[in-house]
Structure 1
Amino acid sequence: MALLIPIFTYYRKYVMFEILVFWIIGGTLQGVLTPDISVGFPSFDYFRYWVVHLGLLAIIFYFIFELKMRPTLKSVFKSFLALQAYVLLMMFLNNLLDANYFYLNEKPQSASLLDYFGEWPYYIVVGQLIIIPMFILIYLPFFIAHKRGKLLCK
């Protein structure tokens, strides 16, 4: 996401917003609540982690509150489908690079919500099952505000 956000901020394509709003709020917020930092304060990794995660949230909230971009219910499903493609890409890259992007090969060493979802590969399946309800929960404030006429949805 940190690689996609500069492209999004330059082009400001709505379809990118539709995807990133759910990925960033749903995923990055988890990273903020349960950080996976191997080296503590004051290390480069510590500061990089927080700058990237909080920066992603700041950028997406800037687009929501300042630029008035809003997701739709269709955005939930577009984001979910894009996430499936992203997961397949990450599985390929993890295999190619012997990496663990998106925690598809093993859970993070630090405590996280994945600890409640079982061992590999069950935590991936459980994660997949809760993504759409989580995305709908993220969409709920936009839906309520739209129904009350306080926000204009696209």
Structure 2
Amino acid sequence: MGSLADRFVPYGPSHWVLMALIVVGAVAFAAVGRWQRDPRTAVLFARTLAVATLLFNVPLLIYRLLPAQWDVGESLPLHLCDLAWMVAVLALWTRQPLASALVYYWGLTLTPQALITPAFDAPDFPHVDFIEFWGQHLLVIWTAAYLTWGVGIRPSWRGYRFAAAVTVGWGAAMLAFNSWAGTNYGFVSRKPDNPSLLDLMGGWPWYLGVAAVVGLAGWALLTWPWTRRSASPIPG
């Protein structure tokens, strides 16, 4: 364990650098997608990014499952951010609209919230925990920007309904698993210790209902502008 001086501090220097990377990286990936005129080049780039995401995350996942690192409350890939990078790989490789919809909604709402109010009490850069947490989240956001504004895979009401159903189903599954294992994946069984938007939504279980209503309303607002356009979503 590092000293207090070595630990990550919310809104400290490293946090602000990462927040800047979110914006700069998202704009850059969207621009790269728009500049790609040759379909073969676009496919190659997307699949290269998919492989890079796998190469970043899979070794870290294996590392967490090693006996020396094992913690039933932290090691399993059950947080939504874990599922998000897996879906991002699928969306980059296949351009499947429903997979891309999950990346859009999760990557542009839930993942940024995790970065703005991080549930991260660990050493600062270059510790492996720091690299894993922040790298995982940034890759998902950059993928969402690339697929949506770069490649042009637009959200649709079908994608909205799919993302809502998957997310609610995941939340129900985590409630059941947490109850059985004594864990708190997804923070559906209790709020995180760090300050977050959930603090404004009441106690358990009420904050779950409030979060669902606010989240689904927000996703609807993020869908509506795309559906007003004359162009239909680009098929996968």
Same fold judged by TM-score > 0.5?
yes
Q: Distance in 1 between matches of 2:224 and 2:217?
A: 10
Query: Does residue 1:109 correspond to 2:188, yes or no?
Result: no
Give RMSD over aligned pairs. 1.9
Q: Which is greater in Rg?
A: 2
Question: Aligned AA for 1:75?
Answer: G
CA contact under 8 A between 2:103 and 2:143: conserved in structure 1?
no
CA contact under 8 A between 2:122 and 2:129: conserved in structure 1?
yes
Q: Distance in 2 between matches of 1:38 and 1:113?
A: 18
Q: Distance in 1 between matches of 2:95 and 2:170?
A: 20
Aligned to 2:104: 21
Query: Does residue 1:9 correspond to 2:92, yes or no?
Result: yes
Question: Aligned AA for 1:77?
Answer: R
Question: Aligned AA for 1:33?
Answer: I
Aligned to 2:135: 51
CA contact under 8 A between 2:103 and 2:140: conserved in structure 1?
no
Aligned to 1:97: 181
Query: Does residue 1:129 correspond to 2:217, yes or no?
Result: no
Distance 1:14 1:140, change over 3 A: same
Unaligned runs of 5+ in 1: none
What is the deviation of 1:127? 0.6
Aligned to 1:30: 113
Secondary structure at 1:139 match in 2: helix
Which shifted more, 135-144 or 76-85? 135-144
Unaligned runs of 5+ in 2: 1-83
Aligned to 1:153: 232
What is the deviation of 1:51? 0.7
Q: Distance in 1 between matches of 2:181 and 2:91?
A: 26
TM-score by length of 1: 0.85
- The aligned length equals 149
Q: Distance in 1 between matches of 2:180 and 2:100?
A: 29
Secondary structure at 1:110 match in 2: coil
Q: Distance in 2 between matches of 1:95 and 1:62?
A: 37
Distance 1:4 1:97, change over 3 A: farther
TM-score by length of 2: 0.58
Query: Does residue 1:84 correspond to 2:163, yes or no?
Result: no
What is the deviation of 1:8? 2.6
Distance 1:136 1:58, change over 3 A: same
What is the deviation of 1:141? 4.1
Q: 1:70 aligned to 154, 159, 162, which one?
A: 154
Same amino acid, percent of matched pairs: 20
